[in-house]
């Protein structure tokens, strides 16, 4: 194999470690900038094989180039390629939505079978698509009127009506199922599928029926995924890994958590009126050799993290913009402020 | 404690359920509570200078240096309040299980019991169906596992690999009163606790 000039190697690697990853990739991490220069040297058709998924860095080693000139051009070190940036914001928790059409995000909400957090009505209102996972429908039916005392319960139930109820249907009360069905909610019985969690099924439903097909800026907010049965909580977090290219935020009264996929430069905008200061970065699922942050009280600087070693918890957000870059997928968590 | 034991005199209950030690930053304990237990003889250990370890870590350290029965190496530490609540706290608490992997530590909540299954051991978990189960799980929390084998579960693993992004065994079911687990990686075992009427 002829030696490739340095110019053809990107300065970073992004490799998919599991094959179970959701391939639908809405992020900007598609092709590195060097594909055009390779096309002039590669036989036609080769380039598509190289860049079909995130494993392109591994494939470079197997590319065969036609023998080049006798004296290869002097190696040119390309400038370090910046990682694609992902920005995160919790503006969906603000009392009124930010008036910034450029940033317009299309929200969907999933309600799992746990007591609703106090901001459930706000988040529900912000969402364009609302899905209940089985017993989550009971929680909406019982819980929304409780969170909006002083209003007529029947009016509230009609207003806070799910678009779809999906799952085993073994927890939803018959009268709740009938009530929402009569109001037009789609009832999707998935009791035959024992291989995926209720949350997984709901995320799949939303990705195949997005609230705004023209807006690729989808963010799925999940209520009831944390706390409760520990295995459920862990299974729900695994769903974030399975759908790593989709923004999914798990919310409880105390915390907000979401995945920071590796090999991205993450910018997390923190609004101190609704969240913080307590935060953490969790190397869930695999150790991280190198994580670097800014904006935290105890920043990481090319620091490694792992269970059994350092896990960044009880950290503090010191600035309104936090940045995180890591070689490994991390779970970001921030505390939510309780309002009087 | 008085709320969980209604019908008894609260003052008697508080005297009976007296901690031996109170350890930590001391920034959450109410002054009157600290004074009350101090007067009853509880050791108050102010650790506000140590910002590097969690409260749970400090308490486990305390217990290992002051074991309840120095002649009995069969120690098991039961932890209440480590799960739920702030997510970073929960994750930090689970990391304490990894740091003290040679000590039996069980994290308990109303819904679940969890503990570490250190790798390269053959684990036998006795399950009492009157108090726990049937829902259970095996979680490759800190690192993927190339090979885990189990018996006694509805969906047993057979040299199966597990990882976040791949398979994590959750919503499994305990089918027998003895469950065995062997793995090349540390795993977190979790089982649901039964709620009694």
How many other C-beta atoms can be found within 10 angstroms of the C-beta atom of residue A95? Answer: 9
Taking only the tens place, the pLDDT of each residue in A234-251 is 999 999 999 999 999 999
How many other C-beta atoms can be found within 10 angstroms of the C-beta atom of residue B68? Answer: 9
Radius of gyration of chain A (CA): 23
Task: List the single residue in A with minimal CA-CA distance to B96.
Answer: A308
Report the mean per-residue pLDDT for chain B.
95
State mean pLDDT over A286-300: 97
Q: In the predicted model, is pLDDT for residue A174 greater than 60?
A: yes
Write the CA distances from A60 to A2, A21, B54, B87, integer angstroms.
12, 21, 45, 40
Write the CA distances from A177 to A70, A85, A149, A166, A193, integer angstroms.
75, 42, 23, 11, 20
Cβ of B87 within 8 Å of Cβ of A242? The answer is no
Choose between A24 and A196: higher pLDDT.
Answer: A196
Task: List the single residue in A with minimal CA-CA distance to B115.
Answer: A230
Mark which residues 63-92 of B lie under 8 Å from A by CB: 83-89, 91-92
What is residue A68's predicted lDDT score, i.e. its pLDDT? Answer: 46
B101 touches chain A (CB under 8 A): yes
B99 touches chain A (CB under 8 A): yes
Distance CA B90, CA B84 (A): 6
Burial level of A94, CB count in 10 A (0-12/13-18/19+)?
A: middle
Element (H, E) at A122: helix A120-126
B chain contacts of residue A230, beta-carbon cutoff 8 Å: 83, 109, 111-112, 114, 137, 190
Cβ of B88 within 8 Å of Cβ of A278? The answer is yes
Cβ of A286 within 8 Å of Cβ of B111? The answer is no
What is residue B70's predicted lDDT score, i.e. its pLDDT? Answer: 84
Contact (CB, 8 A) for A283 and A311: yes
Element (H, E) at A251: strand A247-251
What is residue A211's predicted lDDT score, i.e. its pLDDT? Answer: 86
Indicate the pLDDT class of residue A6, thresholds 50, 70 and 90. very low
User: Looking at the partner chain, which of B92, B140, B142 has a beta carbon nearest the beta carbon of A314?
Assistant: B92
Tell me what ipTM this predicted complex has: 0.95
Q: In the predicted model, is pLDDT for residue A119 greater than 70?
A: yes
Distance CA B191, CA B112 (A): 6
Collapsing DSSP to helix, strand or coil, A102 comes out as helix
How many other C-beta atoms can be found within 10 angstroms of the C-beta atom of residue B126? Answer: 8
Task: List the single residue in B with minimal CA-CA distance to A250.
Answer: B87
Taking only the tens place, the pLDDT of each residue in A179-228 is 999 999 999 998 777 778 999 999 999 999 988 887 778 999 999 999 99
Indicate the pLDDT class of residue A80, thresholds 50, 70 and 90. low
Question: What angle do helix axes A174-182 and A136-147 make, rounded to 10 degrees?
Answer: 80
Encoding tokens for residue B56?
């749970």
What is residue A82's predicted lDDT score, i.e. its pLDDT? Answer: 78
Report the alpha-carbon angle A124-A127-A133, nearest 5: 65
How many other C-beta atoms can be found within 10 angstroms of the C-beta atom of residue A26? Answer: 12
Cβ of A229 within 8 Å of Cβ of B192? The answer is yes
B161 touches chain A (CB under 8 A): no
Cβ of B164 within 8 Å of Cβ of A286? The answer is yes
Among A305, A281, A245, CA closest to B143: A305
Among A85, A89, A88, CA closest to A264: A85
What is residue A193's predicted lDDT score, i.e. its pLDDT? Answer: 77
Interface residues of chain A, partner chain B, Cβ below 8 Å:
17-18, 20-21, 197, 226-232, 234-235, 237-238, 241-242, 244, 252, 254-255, 257, 278-280, 282-287, 306-308, 311, 313-315, 329, 331, 333, 335
To the nearest whole Å, the CA of A239 is away from the closest chain B CA by 8
Distance CA A125, CA A108 (A): 10
Taking only the tens place, the pLDDT of each residue in A33-62 is 333 333 333 344 343 333 333 333 333 334
B35 touches chain A (CB under 8 A): no
Out of A263-277, A312-326, B65-79, which region has the weakest mean confidence (pLDDT)?
B65-79
């Amino acid at each position: 194999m002829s030696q490739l000039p340095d110019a053809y190697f990107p300065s970073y690697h992004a490799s998919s470690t599991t094959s179970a990853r959701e391939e639908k990739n809405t992020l900007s991490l598609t092709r590195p900038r060097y594909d055009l220069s390779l096309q002039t040297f590669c036989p036609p058709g080769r380039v598509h094989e190289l860049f079909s998924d995130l494993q392109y860095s591994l494939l470079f080693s197997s590319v065969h180039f036609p023998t080049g000139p006798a004296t290869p051009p002097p190696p040119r070190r390309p400038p370090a390629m910046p990682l694609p940036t992902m920005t995160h914001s919790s503006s969906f928790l603000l009392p009124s939505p930010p008036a910034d059409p450029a940033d317009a995000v299309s929200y969907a909400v999933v309600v799992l079978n746990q007591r609703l957090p106090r901001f459930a009505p706000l988040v529900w209102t912000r969402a364009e698509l609302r899905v209940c996972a089985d017993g989550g429908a009971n929680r909406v039916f019982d819980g929304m009127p409780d969170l909006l005392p002083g209003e007529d319960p029947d009016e509230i139930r009609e207003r806070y009506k799910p678009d779809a109820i999906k799952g085993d249907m073994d927890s939803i009360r018959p009268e709740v199922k009938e009530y929402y069905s009569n109001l037009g909610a789609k009832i999707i019985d998935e009791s035959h599928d024992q291989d995926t969690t209720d949350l997984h099924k709901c995320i799949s439903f939303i990705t195949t029926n997005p609230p705004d097909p023209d807006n690729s800026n989808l963010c799925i907010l999940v209520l009831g995924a944390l706390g409760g049965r520990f295995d459920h909580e862990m299974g729900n977090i695994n769903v974030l890994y399975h759908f790593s290219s989709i923004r999914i935020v798990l919310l409880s009264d105390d915390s907000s958590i979401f995945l920071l996929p590796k090999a991205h430069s993450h910018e997390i905008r923190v609004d101190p009126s609704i969240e913080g200061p307590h935060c953490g970065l969790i190397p869930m699922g695999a150790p991280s050799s190198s994580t670097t942050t800014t904006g935290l009280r105890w920043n990481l600087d090319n620091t490694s993290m792992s269970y059994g070693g350092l896990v960044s918890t009880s950290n503090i957000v010191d600035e309104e913009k936090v940045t995180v870059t890591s070689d490994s997928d991390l779970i970001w968590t921030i505390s939510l402020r309780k309002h009087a | 404690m008085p709320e969980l034991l209604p019908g008894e005199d609260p003052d008697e209950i508080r005297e009976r359920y007296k901690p031996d030690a109170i350890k930590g930053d001391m920034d959450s304990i109410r002054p009157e509570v600290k004074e009350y237990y101090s007067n009853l003889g509880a050791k108050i250990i102010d650790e506000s200078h140590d910002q590097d370890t969690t409260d749970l870590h400090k308490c486990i350290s305390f217990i290992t240096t002051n074991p309840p029965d120095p002649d009995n190496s069969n120690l098991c530490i039961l932890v209440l309040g480590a799960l739920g609540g702030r997510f970073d706290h929960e994750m930090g608490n689970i990391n304490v299980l990894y740091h003290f992997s040679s000590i039996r530590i069980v994290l308990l909540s109303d819904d679940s019991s969890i503990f570490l299954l250190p790798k390269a051991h053959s684990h036998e978990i006795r399950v009492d169906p009157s108090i726990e189960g049937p829902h259970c799980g095996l979680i490759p929390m800190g690192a993927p596992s190339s090979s885990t084998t189990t018996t006694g579960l509805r969906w047993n693993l057979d040299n199966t690999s597990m990882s976040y992004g791949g398979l994590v065994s959750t919503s499994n079911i305990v089918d027998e009163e003895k469950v065995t687990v062997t793995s090349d990686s540390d795993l977190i075992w979790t089982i649901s606790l039964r709620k009694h009427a």
